[in-house]
Amino acid sequence: MAIDLPVLTRDILKSDDHLVQSFADLNALKQQGARTAIVSAKGTMVTDSDGNELIDGIGGLWCVNVGHGRREIIDAIRDQLETLDFYSTFYTFTHPAAAALAQKLGQLAPGNLNKVYFGNSGSVANDSAVRILQHYYRRLGRPEKRLVLSRNGAYHGSTFLAIAMTTPEYSKGWDKADNMVHHLKKPHYWREGDGMSEAEFLDMLMEDMRASIERIGAENIACFIAEPIMGAGGVIVPPEGYHRRAGDICRAYDIKFVADEVVTAFGRLGHFFASQDVFGTTPDIINTAKGLTSGYQPLSATIMSDEIHEVISGPDGVFLHGMTYSGHPAASAAALANIALMEQEQIPERVRTTGKLFEKTLKALEDIEIVGEVRGSHFMAGIEFVSDKQSKALFPEAMNIGMKVARRAQARGLIARPLGHILILSPTLILSEAEIARIGDILRESILDVMAEVR
Ligand code: PLP
C-alpha cells in the first residue's frame, strides 16, 4: 500500500502543526513557521517543498555518508522486511542480520573490540556503554567505580545520561543526571591555548585530566568518554597526541576509554573507525551510529572488548539491559548493505583524497575578515566567525551570525548548520571535486554578503 503523503504547503508548515522539532526555538517556529521541508533526495542533493535543489552540506545530520537514494541499501531493507520484518535479540532469540552485522563490526573494529551491543541511537549507545561498564566493575567487586569523565565541548546525545555527559551549554536551564559526570577542559588550542605552545597546551590538558582523577579518586571512576573530534560542540580537533596520552592515563588509573565515534566512523575521516587509524588509540569501547547505516535506518552499536565481555558474561548475573529494537532486522540489513557499498566503492579510501580537498577549500575562507578559524578534518568542518580577528572577539550572540550565513548559503543552494557563531559542514562523502568547489564558492559569497551587512 502506498502511503499518501500530503503535499506540503506553506499552511501545513506553519505554526499549527503537530510536530515538535529537536533543538529548535519552538516559539520562533510558532511565530514565523519558517521551516524547510525536505521532500526528496538523491546522491549529494536534496529537494525542498518549493522545488529548490540544495547540496546537502550536512549529510542529513552527519549521517548520510554514502549519499541519498542508494538502491542497494533500499533493496536490502525491503528484502529483509519481506523475509523477516521483526524479531528481537532478547533472551535466546537472534536473527541472521544482527548476527552477521555484529560479526562484521568485530572484524572492522580495532584490537580486541569484538562484541557488539546494538541500540537505536548514539545517545543510547553512550548510555549503554556507561551502564555496561558500571556493571563490569560491580562484577569485579568495585561497585563504587561508576562515575564518568567527559569534556567541556562534548556532545554525546540527549537522553538523561548522554546530555549530562554533553557540554553544559546544551542543557542550559534543563535538569540532568549530572551527579555522575565530571567535565574536563575543552581541547581547543586556537581559543583556549593563549600564551602556550600547542605542546604546552596539551601538557596542561593532561595535567587537568590527571589532577581531576586524583581529586575524584580513580576508584570512583568507571570511564572517560571522548569523541575523536568533537562534532556538535563546534568541530574541535584536539592537539596531536591528545587521545594517545589520554589513553595512557586511563590505562594507568584503570579507567575505561570509551570513544564516541557516532560521527567519526564509517568513512567521515577516511577510515571505518578513526580511533586507531587516525588517532593511534584502541579504546575499550567504541560507540557508533549515524554512518553505520548512512542514516537509512536508526541503529547504533556499542562495540566492546573481549575482556569487558568476558567479565559481564561470567557466571551469576543476567545482562539487565535491552531495547526492543536492538539489532532490528531492517536496520541491520541496511548497515550490512551500507558497509558493503563502502567497501566496493572504497569510500573511506576516496575520502582521504576528496576529504583533504574539502578541508583545503574551506581553509581558504580564512582570508575573509570575519572568519576566525576554519577547522576540522576531511568531511567534518567548522567555521568560526569573529568580529575582530586579532582579539578573536565574537559578534553579539543575538546577531546569530551562523544563522545569517546559513540562510544566505541556503538561498544559494547549500544547506549548512549554524551553531551560534559557528557554521558546521558534514556533507555526504561522495561529493565530486566540482561540488566541493561550488560549496567553497557559495560559502565565500554568503560570508561576504553577511560581512557587508554587519560591518
Ligand atoms: N554522539 C555524537 C558524537 C553525536 O554527534 C551525536 C548526535 O549528533 C550523538 C552522540 C547522539 O546521537 P543520537 O542523536 O543518534 O542519539
Q: 42: which strand partners?
A: 45
Name the residue of 123, 227, 286 to mutate for ligand 1: max ligand atoms within 8 A of Cβ.
123
Q: Which of 12, 295, 9, 312 is nearest to 134 (CA)?
A: 312
Long-range contact set of residues 40-47: C-beta below 8 Å, sequence gap at least 24: 41/68, 41/69, 42/68, 42/69, 43/67, 43/68, 43/69, 43/428, 43/430, 44/68, 44/427, 44/428, 44/430, 44/431, 44/432, 44/435, 46/415
* Whole-structure pTM value: 0.97
Q: Which of 204, 207, 177 is nearest to 188 (CA)?
A: 204
Q: Give the start-end residues of each E strand in 130-170.
A: 147-151
Q: Which of 19, 44, 16, 23 is nearest to 438 (CA)?
A: 44
Q: What is the pLDDT along the chain (455 residues), one digit of tens a residue?
A: 666 655 555 555 554 578 899 999 888 888 876 688 999 999 999 999 999 999 999 999 999 999 999 999 999 999 999 999 999 999 999 999 999 999 999 999 999 999 999 999 999 999 999 999 999 999 999 999 999 999 999 999 999 999 999 999 999 999 988 899 999 999 999 999 999 999 999 999 999 999 999 999 999 999 999 999 999 999 999 999 999 999 999 999 999 999 999 999 999 999 999 999 999 999 999 999 999 999 999 999 999 999 999 999 999 889 999 999 999 999 999 999 999 999 999 999 999 999 999 999 999 999 999 999 999 999 999 999 999 999 999 999 999 999 999 999 999 999 999 999 999 999 999 999 999 999 999 999 999 999 999 98
Distance 88 CA to ligand 1 centre (A): 23
Distance 123 CA to ligand 1 centre (A): 6
Q: Hey, whose CA ends up nearest to atom 7 of ligand 1?
A: 157
- Taking CB atoms and a 6 Å cutoff, what residues make up the pocket around ligand 1? 121-123, 126, 155-157, 227, 231-232, 260, 262-263, 289
Distance 332 CA to ligand 1 centre (A): 19
157 and 121 Cβ atoms separated by less than 8 Å: yes
Cα–Cα distance between 402 and 443 in angstroms, integer? 11
Alpha-carbon radius of gyration of the chain: 22
Distance 262 CA to ligand 1 centre (A): 6
ipTM above 0.90, yes or no: yes
Q: Which of 321, 233, 324, 228 is nearest to 281 (CA)?
A: 228
pLDDT tens readout for residues 47-101? 999 999 999 999 999 999 999 999 999 999 999 999 999 999 999 999 999 999 9
Atom of ligand 1 nearest to the CA of 159: 16
pLDDT tens readout for residues 403-442? 999 999 999 999 999 999 999 999 999 999 999 999 999 9
| Grid cell locating 407 | 540562510
Residue 252 backbone dihedrals phi, psi, to 5 degrees: -60, -35
How many residues appear in the chain? 455
